Structure 1
């Protein structure tokens, strides 16, 4: 008699494998990570690992594709729930910063490792990415009062993604600024320029960094 698979247990184990693999890929790169290392990080045998994924390529495809599909779902939700272009853009910025906070390893796989995948998988994943970028571009054009096909919409969307994507190379967890505060700062900066950024409440009562007073007195 065939063994009945426990859906909750299977899905939980699969999610654990994807999370650990994403962390390894983010730290070492797709090419520098072996399936033996993934199995060890997950605390499972290699045979068990292959019960959930076919190979390393399949693992990277699932990480990148599920992540970008989640981002597209966030876009659809925001566009549905906010009436004005300004509210939609602000919500998109805050929502993406929050998503990246939870899935920064998967985001690095999406941005850095998709190039190692087969052409048909690349095209499918990049196709979703393009829809996400297009939604940002249209919203930016609407905020500017321009046609949806504005020539500035996409370049400005890519500049915005540049701010968000690189945030995790310098932001350290556990400091005064959390992801919600950063999301507000990015929205303020993008909407109003340098003078529009407000000091987050967490920084108002924070102790000055070592050496900052000496530097200010010079």
Structure 2
């Protein structure tokens, strides 16, 4: 087996372990989850798990850093498109929501469990979070240039994250609404308030 093939297989195994661990951390909490449970969920022996990760904290860092790195790449990618101010913020909200749809467990871990990491690991994750916040704050400021020189773009950005980041506490993705449905609602609510939310009527299937 070639070096590239071995490396690819190792990355795939680490990704699988991370997904299974994120499910456990999201359901049980980081502190209540053991390496034995992660190994069992990943269909590995405990020595096999330790071959990929030296301890539970490294698993946690791999999940949190991987998720926030993807978010940072996504938002800086939108920023690089050079969209007009009225399009940039809606696009950021939409791509953010779509990423959340695919990584609800990872997002819960990022939101709730980073505090268990050591100071250096936390700093690494927080620095990438700051990149995400900065891109959103710049988009808010571009949409409202009259707020230039005030703290309001950052404050409004944190209000927006408060709305988006805690969806996992109440949203049921197997219900009547999907993340695709909620993305324009979140955009309209943030930009125009409750009276700006448009009601989308679903077509009734004919029998």
TM-score, with structure 1 as normaliser: 0.87
Task: Flag the 1:54–1:192 CA change in 2: closer, same or farther, 3 A.
Answer: same
Which secondary structure does the structure 2 equivalent of 1:105 belong to?
A: helix
Once the two structures are TM-superposed, the CA of residue 48 in structure 1 deviates from its matched residue by 0.8
Consecutive unaligned residues in structure 2, runs of 5 or more? none
Aligned to 2:25: 25
**Mean CA deviation greater in 89-98 or 159-168:** 159-168
1:90-109 aligned at under 5 Å gives the runs 90-109=90-109
- 1:86-120 deviations in whole A, cap 9, x for unaligned? 21100010111111111111111111111111101
Equivalent pairs counted in the alignment come to: 204
* Match of residue 197 from structure 1: 197
Question: Which aligned runs of 4 or more in structure 1 are off by greater than 4 angstroms?
Answer: 2-5
Separation in structure 2 between the aligned mates of residue 178 and residue 3 of structure 1, nearest angstrom: 42
Kindly provide the CA deviation profile for residues 109-165 of structure 1, in whole angstroms up to 9, marking residues without a partner as x.
111111111101111111111121121112101101146653011111111111111
| Partner residue, 1:73 | 73
Cα RMSD, aligned residues only: 1.9
Which residue in 1 is equivalent to 2:152? 152
1:205 CA displacement: 4.1
Aligned to 2:41: 41
2:84 equivalent to 1:84? yes
Greater Cα radius of gyration, structure 1 or 2: 1
C-alpha distance in 1, partners of 2:2/2:138?
50
The Cα shift of 1:179 comes to 0.4
SS at match of 2:145: coil
Quote the Cα distance in structure 1 between the aligned partners of 2:149 and 2:79.
17
Which whole-Å CA distance do the structure 1 matches of 2:82 and 2:144 have between them? 17
CA deviation string 1:155-214 (max 9, x = no partner): 111111111112222221232211011001000111111111112344x649xxxxxxxx
Which gives a bigger RCO, structure 1 or 2 (Cα 8 Å, sep 6+)? 2
Q: Would the aligned equivalents of 1:64 and 1:110 in 2 still touch at CA under 8 Å?
A: yes
Distance 2:134 2:149 in 1: 9
Structure 2 Cα separation of the partners of residues 71 and 94 of structure 1: 12
C-alpha distance in structure 1 between counterparts of 2:133 and 2:142, whole Å:
14
User: Does residue 118 of structure 2 align to residue 113 of structure 1?
Assistant: no
Q: CA deviation at 1:56?
A: 0.4
